[in-house]
Structure 1
Amino acid sequence: MASLSEFELPFIIIDDGSDSKTKRALSELSSHDNITLVTLSENQGKGGAVMAGMYQAQKLYFSHVIQIDADGQHDVQALPALLESSKTNPLHLISGKPIYDESIPKARLYGRYATHIWVWIETLSFSIKDSMCGLRAYPVSSTISVLDKYSVGKRMDFDIEILVRMYWEGVVIEFVETRVIYPEGGVSHFDALWDNLKISWMHTRLFFGMLPRVPKLLARNRKIGIKKGK
C-alpha cells in the first residue's frame, strides 16, 4: 500500500476469507478515507476476489479498475504508463507485459508459454502478448458485461479466461511492459495440481467455445490486419 500511495488513487481491498490477524490489519487500513474494504466470508480464489472488487467498483461508479496482485511481484513504476494508456483509450483493456529477471522459476516461464499458445489458438490471433499478468486496467462497464454474460473461472484461471472472453466480445487489449520479480521466500497460492487441472479444463471449454466464433474472429483479425497495413 505504501508503494502505491504516491498515485493518489482510491483503493478497493478484498479480504478473501483471511485469518483473524490479517482481518485486523485490513480493518485498520480501511479506516483511511480512500480505502474500501470488501470482506468475503469464505475464500473465493483470485478470480472471485477480483470479481468482488469489480462489482464494488461498479457500485462506487468507477469507470476503471486497476488490478494489482498483493504479492509484490509487479513493479509499481509501470502504473503511470498503464494509467496513461487507459486514459488515452478508455474502452481498451490494458495489461502488463512481463519483463522477467533471473528470479523466475523455469517451470513457471515455460508453463506460461504453454498457456499463451492456447490463448492464441482460442482467439485465432497473436494480439494477446501475455495472458497471465496480474497487473491490468479494466474498463468497468465492458468487464461487468462479460462477467454477467459468462461463468468465468474464480481462481487462477480467471486472468486467462477474462482476457479471452473480452477479446471475443470485441474489446481491444493493449500491453505495457512491466518488470516482474519472484522474491526469494515469496508465498505462492498457486496449487500445482488443482489450479493446473482448472486451467486445462478452462482451455478445453474455451477451445470449443472458439469453434462457432471462427468466422467472427477471422473477420475481426482480417480487419485489424487491414488497419495495420494502412
Structure 2
Amino acid sequence: MAEPRPCILIPVYNHPATITPLCTELAALEIPLLLVDDGSDQQCAAVLDRLAEQGHHLLRLETNQGKGAAVRAGLRYAEQLGFSHALQVDADGQHGVDDLPAFLATLTVAQHTLVVGYPRYDASVPRVRFYGRYATHIWVWINTLSLDIRDSMCGVRLYPVAPLNRMLARHPCGNRMTFDTEVLVRWHWAQGAMMHRPVRVHYPRDGISHFAVWRDNRQISLMHTRLFFGMLWRLPRLLARRFQPHREVSP
C-alpha cells in the first residue's frame, strides 16, 4: 500500500470564536488542516483568512450550502491536493482532540476502512439531544438490517478520500444535516469496511447550533423514508450478506 497522507477536514459556518483555538489544538497532531468556509459572514471569513495566511488550506464556498455540501466539496479538494484520507471534525470544538490519534492510528492497518466516531458524552449534553438521537439510530439499524453502525450522527470520522468520492459521485447524500447519516448507510450497503472509535463530546453552554428544526427534521424524515425503500430494493442482498464472512471492499 502507498504511504497514507491524511488531512483534517473542518467544515465551517460562522464559528469565529472556536475555530482558531480548535486549529491551535489540532496543529499538535502535525497533520495539514483543510478548512471549508461554507458561506460564513464577514467576521468568520476574516478569521479563516488569517488561518489561511498561517499555512492552513482554505476552500471557500460563496454561499451557505450546508454541512453535507461543504464536506463533499472538501473531500473533492482533498483529493486534488493529494490527500488519501480526511479526518472530519466539527468546527465548534465539542470533540475531544486527544481522542483523534486513535482514528489516525488505523491507517497503518486498514487504509480502505471508514472509521466512525461514537460519542462519549459528559454532563453537558442536553437530554433532548441524547435521547433524540435514538430515532435516527433505530432507522439506521432498520435500513441496514444490522447493528453495524454504532452511531451515524457523530461529526468525527476518518474517510478514505478516493473511494468515498467515487461513491458520492453516484449518491451525493444530501447537502445539509442528512449527509452524516446517509453516507454511512450507503457505505454499508456498498460493503465498505467500517471501524468505530470513541470520542469525548462536550456541549459548551454558549455553543452555536445551525440545526433548523423544521427544515432539517423534514429532510431527515424524507431521508429515512428514501433509505427505507432503498433497503427494500436491496433486501435479498442484505439478507444474503448476513450469512457470508465479512471481507473488506472498496465501494
TM-score range with shorter-chain normalisation? over 0.9
> In 1, Cα distance between the equivalents of 2:240 and 2:181?
23
- Once the two structures are superposed, residues 113-140 of structure 1 have per-residue CA deviations (whole angstroms, 9 ceiling, x without a partner) of 1100000011001000001000010001
Which is richer in helix?
Answer: 1
Q: Given the alignment, which residue of 207, 215, 220 partners 1:194?
A: 215
> In 2, Cα distance between the equivalents of 1:9 and 1:105?
32
**Which residue of structure 1 lines up, in the alignment, with residue 194 of structure 2?**
173
Q: Residue 97 and residue 41 in structure 1: after superposition, are their counterparts in 2 closer, same or farther (change >3 A)?
A: same
Give the alignment of 1:58-69 within 5 angstroms.
Answer: 58-69=79-90
**Which residue of structure 2 lines up, in the alignment, with residue 36 of structure 1?**
57
Are 2:59 and 1:46 equivalent residues in the alignment? Answer: no
Where structure 2 has 5 or more consecutive residues not aligned to the other structure, the ranges are 1-22
Q: Is the 8 A contact 1:54 1:140 kept in 2?
A: yes
**Which residue of structure 2 lines up, in the alignment, with residue 127 of structure 1?**
148
Q: Is the 8 A contact 1:92 1:139 kept in 2?
A: yes
**Which residue of structure 1 lines up, in the alignment, with residue 106 of structure 2?**
85
Q: Is the 8 A contact 1:86 1:137 kept in 2?
A: no
Are 2:142 and 1:117 equivalent residues in the alignment? Answer: no
C-alpha displacement of 1:21: 1.6
Q: Is the 8 A contact 1:57 1:140 kept in 2?
A: yes
Of 152-161 and 214-223, more deviation after overlay is shown by 214-223
Q: Given the alignment, which residue of 37, 49, 63 partners 1:27?
A: 49
Secondary structure of the corresponding residue to residue 176 of structure 2: coil
- Once the two structures are superposed, residues 187-222 of structure 1 have per-residue CA deviations (whole angstroms, 9 ceiling, x without a partner) of 111111111111000000000011111121122232
> In 2, Cα distance between the equivalents of 1:84 and 1:220?
28
Of 212-221 and 4-13, more deviation after overlay is shown by 212-221
| TM-score normalised per structure 2 | 0.87
- Once the two structures are superposed, residues 30-67 of structure 1 have per-residue CA deviations (whole angstroms, 9 ceiling, x without a partner) of 1233x111000100111111111100011012110010
**Which residue of structure 2 lines up, in the alignment, with residue 56 of structure 1?**
77
C-alpha displacement of 1:4: 0.4
**Which residue of structure 1 lines up, in the alignment, with residue 26 of structure 2?**
4
Secondary structure of the corresponding residue to residue 196 of structure 2: strand
**Which residue of structure 1 lines up, in the alignment, with residue 37 of structure 2?**
15
C-alpha displacement of 1:225: 7.5
What percentage of residue pairs aligned between the two structures are identical?
A: 49
Where structure 1 has 5 or more consecutive residues not aligned to the other structure, the ranges are none
C-alpha displacement of 1:224: 4.4
> In 2, Cα distance between the equivalents of 1:224 and 1:98?
28
CA-atom RMSD in angstroms: 1.3
Q: Residue 86 and residue 193 in structure 1: after superposition, are their counterparts in 2 closer, same or farther (change >3 A)?
A: farther
Amino acid at match of 2:191: G
> In 2, Cα distance between the equivalents of 1:199 and 1:63?
30
> In 2, Cα distance between the equivalents of 1:149 and 1:44?
19
